[in-house]
């Protein structure tokens, strides 16, 4: 039986929960209820034993901490893509190509895939993205410049955009909580 290793830590933006298999990260979840979202992703990967393992996830945690501190623009971690479709993987590859600090629309991602008619499908692929930040779906917004959805919620999306645009103060006030 294979093992899924999990670990949660508190970043300057809030709680981050990670899960990894021998193939790579299988889920990242953000926010106070992050563990529930990760557990749902883990449940989709059958026949795994789940164990807390901070050492196994230390490289990913270190990269995320560097990202949150403004010292890293992208994460370089292996991903376990089992259970995902070729369409999802292609959309996520396009989104991974969006430069740090830039925003693009769902329509832009759809056109990069093959046509504006795919915009809703792009939204679905991003809604099911189990790798936020690594696959930076927070950089994708609506055509009307509203934020659109995000697995970690709108506050997380706002925080990530602020971090990447350089508009974030060096620390959040104490009252910013999940």
Phi/psi of residue 169, each to 5°? -65, 165
User: How many whole angstroms separate alpha carbon 91 and alpha carbon 53?
Assistant: 30
Q: E strand or H helix at 165, and its extent? A: helix 154-165
Tell me, yes or no, if 26 is annotated catalytic. Answer: no
User: How many whole angstroms separate alpha carbon 136 and alpha carbon 119?
Assistant: 17
Which entry of 4, 64, 137, 140 is annotated as an active-site residue? 137
DSSP E strands, the chain: 2-11, 14-21, 24-30, 48-52, 104-105, 140-141
Residues with a known catalytic role: 137
């Amino acid at each position: 039986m294979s093992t899924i290793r999990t670990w949660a830590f508190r970043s300057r933006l809030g709680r981050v929960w990670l899960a990894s298999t021998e193939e790579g990260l299988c889920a990242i979840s953000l926010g106070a209820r992050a563990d529930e979202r990760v557990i749902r992703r883990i449940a989709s990967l059958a026949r795994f034993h789940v164990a807390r393992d901070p050492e196994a996830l230390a490289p990913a945690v270190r990269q995320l901490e560097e990202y949150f501190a403004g010292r890293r623009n992208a994460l370089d971690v292996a991903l376990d893509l089992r259970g995902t479709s070729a369409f999802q993987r292609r959309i996520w590859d396009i989104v991974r190509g969006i430069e740090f600090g830039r925003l693009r629309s769902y329509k832009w991602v759809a056109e990069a895939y093959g046509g504006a008619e795919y915009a809703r499908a792009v939204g679905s692929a991003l809604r099911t993205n189990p790798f936020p930040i690594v696959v930076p779906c927070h950089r994708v917004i609506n055509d009307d410049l509203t934020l659109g959805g995000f697995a970690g919620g709108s506050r997380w999306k706002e925080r990530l955009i602020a971090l990447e645009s350089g508009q974030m103060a060096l620390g959040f006030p104490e009252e910013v909580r999940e």
